[in-house]
Chains A and B, each alone.
Chain A
Amino acid sequence: AQSVTQLGSHVSVSEGALVLLRCNYSSSVPPYLFWYVQYPNQGLQLLLKYTSAATLVKGINGFEAEFKKSETSFHLTKPSAHMSDAAEYFCASGGGADGLTFGKGTHLIIQP
């Protein structure tokens, strides 16, 4: 069974600082990995996905993630945080008939 672990339920950074949200996966087969963002009272929006074509994946809003098989990680980064980045971020694995398996989420707080 696949599982996803997000380290840190809350992350606080200053506006303009580096954003780093951590995700580790557990999978017995090559994983399909996703990052979604959820704003209050809204559904989930896809930020980016890993499809094995490249280990460094670029997404929307300046976010990117690097797949590291040796570390079973898929951490999300953004060089410079903006106030509008404040939201809940979810790492997910899987798909198809088994659905997506989500981590518990990381709440990103941006300090002015």
Chain B
Amino acid sequence: DTGVSQDPRHKITKRGQNVTFRCDPISEHNRLYWYRQTLGQGPEFLTYFQNEAQLEKSRLLSDRFSAERPKGSFSTLEIQRTEQGDSAMYLCASSLQGGLQETQYFGPGTRLLVL
């Protein structure tokens, strides 16, 4: 069990550019979540996958945000036409399906800075 990993850890981009982040969950976990954390706030839920199916995406912040999990393993989060307000920490978490009391394990996050 190597934990949840995220790549890159840091990303600096210019406004208007597209960025893509990758998350590798714990290998046997079938559920994967993306959150955004802005300075001084708790993480904010964005989207959720069970295996390769994206079962919740209404909380994605705008249509510039999209996520995929093509083979039910790793996931990517893409932000198109980045804006300065997108600057934040993007966290990925994974869990093994087991009811609402299941534990989500978080990765170290990708910190995005949009100039």
Q: Which residues of A come within 8 Å of B, CB atoms?
A: 4, 9, 32, 34, 36, 41-46, 49, 51-52, 90, 92, 94-105
Contact = CB atoms under 8 A, between A and B. Distances in A.
Contacts, number: 69
Contact of B102 (A41, A95, A99, A103): A95
Residues of B in contact with A, size category: 20 to 34
B42 A92 contact: yes
Interface string B48-61: 10100001100100
A96 B47 CA distance: 11
B4 interface: yes
Interface string B87-103: 00001010100011111
A43 B99 CA distance: 23
Given A43-B4, A99-B33, A99-B35, A49 B101 contact: yes
Contacts of B43: 44, 90, 100, 102
A77 to B, nearest CB: 20
